[in-house]
Amino acid sequence: MRRVLQFMFFFSFLLCISCGSNSNTVVEKTFHVWGNNEICKHNIEKACKLNGVTDASWNTDSKLLKFKIDTAILNTDAVLKSVASAGYDNELFFGNDYAYSNLPEACQYERRDN
């Protein structure tokens, strides 16, 4: 009986370890997002504050948004749609026109072609 319990404990331990190794669903993504300055940076990064997103950072020079996303919680489209709803065009979605028109003048970048 003792051998059976030891075997069950060992098997359970291995099962827990193997399940844990596949749970890493956080990936880093990079996308081009149109914008001009530090105000845009603040707005774009704020739009990325969603459950499942960490370490969002937009570079004002390269116009690249980098973020880490837990794909078990959220998908990339949801993040980029949130950025677009704040008025900022990106690789996949056009910024919301109403939100764009309400951006400070310094943030009104040259829109990309539809």
Structural domain boundaries in the chain: 25-107
Output the six-digit token pair for 6.
């030891």
User: 86 and 97 in contact (C-beta within 8 Å)?
Assistant: no
Confidence of residue 24 (pLDDT cuts 50, 70, 90): confident
pLDDT at 14: 54
Is the pTM above the cut of 0.85?
A: no
How distant, in Å, are the alpha carbons of 16, 23, 65, 73, 89 from that of 42?
A: 41, 31, 12, 24, 15
Write out pLDDT tens, residues 70-96: 999 999 999 999 999 999 999 999 999
As its CATH architecture, domain 25-107 has: 2-Layer Sandwich (3.30)
Residue position matching structure tokens 């990106």? 90
- pLDDT at 8 exceeding the cut of 70: no
Task: Centre a 10 Å sphere on the Cβ of residue 58 and count the other Cβ atoms it contains.
Answer: 24
Mean pLDDT, rounded, for 56-60: 98
Assigned token pair, 63: 């116009």
Q: Write out the H or E segment, with its range, that includes residue 66.
A: strand 64-70
**101: which 2 tokens?**
């028109």
Residues 62, 41 contacting (CB under 8 angstroms): no
